[in-house]
Amino acid sequence: MAVTVSHDFSSTSLSAIVGSFNTQGTFVSATPYGTGHINDTFAVTVEQSGVGIRYILQRINHDIFKDPVANMENIRRVTEHLARRMAGQPDLARRVLTLIPTRVGDVFHRDPHGNVWRMYLLIENAVSLETATSPAQAFETGLAFGHFQHLLTDLPAPRLHVTIPDFHHIPKRFATLIRAIESDPANRAIAAQPEIQFAFARQPIADVLLKANLPERITHNDTKFSNVLLDKATGEGLCVIDLDTVMPGLALYDFGDMVRTTTSPAAEDERDLTRVRLEMPMFEALLRGYLSTAGEFLTAAEKKYLAFSGKLITFVMGIRFLTDYLSGDIYYKVHRPGHNLDRCRTQFRLIESIEHQEEAMSRLVESLG
Ligand code: ADP
Ligand code: GN1
Ligand code: MG
């Protein structure tokens, strides 16, 4: 099995990396943190006058983000803008990510191996969860990402860097899947026949949003449930995190990924597919939360595709997991054999569930939009 593991950074090298950032204290520890599929994330503790202060240290995955400096320029501009737009709000440092500069004043540190590192304040008393379990959580997620999009509608020029070209270009994602099926480098296509058939049967939906003439906006592009921190005490959607993919996009890509990740009680890699389904009360809460903050700037054309966007983004994630399975697990971190195929199967099962309820979802959108 080709298991992808984080680089084995020794504590000594992590302490040297932490030392290059302008933290106020003595290094105590750095521990792998979170469940992200892409970057290497550590919770760092430094001690200052006997008190532990925690930070998030991340190595940007530069196999995926080819120009990490561009990521950091986007993130600096976006976080500064969000902080300006929310100035005066209580608890601001828990509502927007705070970058810690290096000792020479940069927003990232490049180590001798060429890795690019950044550091944020670790937002305490907040949780990042994989699976939403209540309509209130779905509502908070919709509200938080809608607010995020709203605050970025007036980000001053220039246009943000495109950190991954064609990230949500679904016909191109489909073409990549076809190439993986044809080359079949890990000899796995035979094991994924039902999923391949499933994908082909839905290929016609791939270009629907591209043809719909929708406005370009600044979007997050990775709005999965775990990328919003919820306040531990109140459950409030506190802070949108994971900003590497913030770039020009369609608002519907964001809403679609929220549908994918908040409306089903099952985890993204659940093996018991009977647990995977879109639950209407979760969808309704998500929609209400999103419209409460995004409703005022969305156009009628965007609103028309809100229900469809959930199916579409679930489709693209399914084909990306399938492609990675066929390619031998080279993109996402995997933790067991067949992990990417399991993830693909949950996506495709969720699509079936959405298909059964799509009309009711559309009616709900019309009644609330
Ligand atoms: P990835 O791109 O690999 O998903 P994320 O930026 O989402 O990386 O970070 C991984 C995890 O680290 C998150 O799911 C969350 O649990 C945690 N995390 C990231 N940034 C912060 C922060 N500033 N405060 C608290 N937790 C954070
Ligand atoms: C990745 O970084 P993370 O784990 O939040 C991926 C997303 C997928 C998601 C699926 C840059 O997100 O596109 O939707 O996994 N990010 C990138 O869980 O590819
Ligand atoms: Mg993440």
pLDDT grade for 63, boundaries at 50, 70 and 90: very high
pLDDT grade for 237, boundaries at 50, 70 and 90: very high
Task: For ligand 1, say whether the CB of 242 is within 6 Å of any of its atoms.
Answer: yes
CB contact at 8 A, 65 and 143: no
- Cα 24 to ligand 2 centroid, rounded to whole Å: 32
Task: For ligand 2, say whether the CB of 38 is within 6 Å of any of its atoms.
Answer: yes
At position 272, the amino acid (one-letter code) is D
Rounded to whole angstroms, the Cα distance separating 88 from 92 reads: 7
Neighbours of 14 (CB within 10 A): 19
Query: In the predicted model, what is the mean pLDDT of residues 333-350?
Result: 98
Query: In the predicted model, what is the mean pLDDT of residues 188-205?
Result: 98
Per-residue model confidence as pLDDT tens digits over 72-125:
999 999 999 999 999 999 999 999 999 999 999 999 999 999 999 999 999 999
- Cα 238 to ligand 3 centroid, rounded to whole Å: 15
pLDDT grade for 255, boundaries at 50, 70 and 90: very high
Rounded to whole angstroms, the Cα distance separating 160 from 74 reads: 6
Q: How large a percentage of the chain has pLDDT more than 70?
A: 97
Task: For ligand 1, say whether the CB of 226 is within 6 Å of any of its atoms.
Answer: yes
Average pLDDT, the chain: 96
Global pTM value: 0.96
What is residue 8's predicted lDDT score, i.e. its pLDDT?
A: 66
CA angle (186, 187, 190) in 5-degree steps: 135
In this model, does residue 10 exceed pLDDT 80? no
In Å, what is the CA distance from 230 to each residue of 185, 221, 241?
A: 41, 19, 11
- Rounded (10°) angle between helices 193-201 and 339-368: 30
What is residue 7's predicted lDDT score, i.e. its pLDDT?
A: 56
Q: How many CA atoms lie within 13 A of 315 on its CB side?
A: 26
Task: For ligand 2, say whether the CB of 241 is within 6 Å of any of its atoms.
Answer: no
What is residue 24's predicted lDDT score, i.e. its pLDDT?
A: 84
Task: For ligand 2, say whether the CB of 324 is within 6 Å of any of its atoms.
Answer: no
Matching residue, tokens 């969720």: 350
Ligand 1 pocket test: which of 65, 74, 241 has the largest number of ligand atoms within 8 Å of its C-beta? 241
Ligand 2 pocket test: which of 4, 37, 65, 229 has the largest number of ligand atoms within 8 Å of its C-beta? 37
CB under 8 Å to 178, separation ≥6 — which residues? none
What is residue 365's predicted lDDT score, i.e. its pLDDT?
A: 98
What is residue 3's predicted lDDT score, i.e. its pLDDT?
A: 29
Beta bridge partners of 211: none
| Ligand 1, atom nearest to 123 Cα | 24
Please state whether 276 falls in left (phi above 0), alpha (psi between -120 and 50) or beta: beta
**Strand ranges in 3-101 using DSSP code E only, listed in sequence order:** 26-32, 40-48, 51-59
Ligand 2 pocket test: which of 38, 229, 261 has the largest number of ligand atoms within 8 Å of its C-beta? 38
Beta bridge partners of 44: 30, 55
Task: For ligand 1, say whether the CB of 61 is within 6 Å of any of its atoms.
Answer: no
| Ligand 2, atom nearest to 227 Cα | 5
Domains of the chain (ranges; CATH) run 11-123 (3.30.200.20), 135-368 (3.90.1200.10)
At position 191, the amino acid (one-letter code) is A
Query: In the predicted model, what is the mean pLDDT of residues 348-358?
Result: 98
In this model, does residue 9 exceed pLDDT 80? no
In this model, does residue 132 exceed pLDDT 50? yes
- Cα 44 to ligand 1 centroid, rounded to whole Å: 12
Q: What is the DSSP letter of 35?
A: -
In Å, what is the CA distance from 253 to each residue of 142, 260, 305, 340?
A: 13, 11, 10, 21
CB contact at 8 A, 322 and 192: yes
Query: In the predicted model, what is the mean pLDDT of residues 40-55?
Result: 96
CB under 8 Å to 359, separation ≥6 — which residues? none
Task: For ligand 1, say whether the CB of 36 is within 6 Å of any of its atoms.
Answer: yes
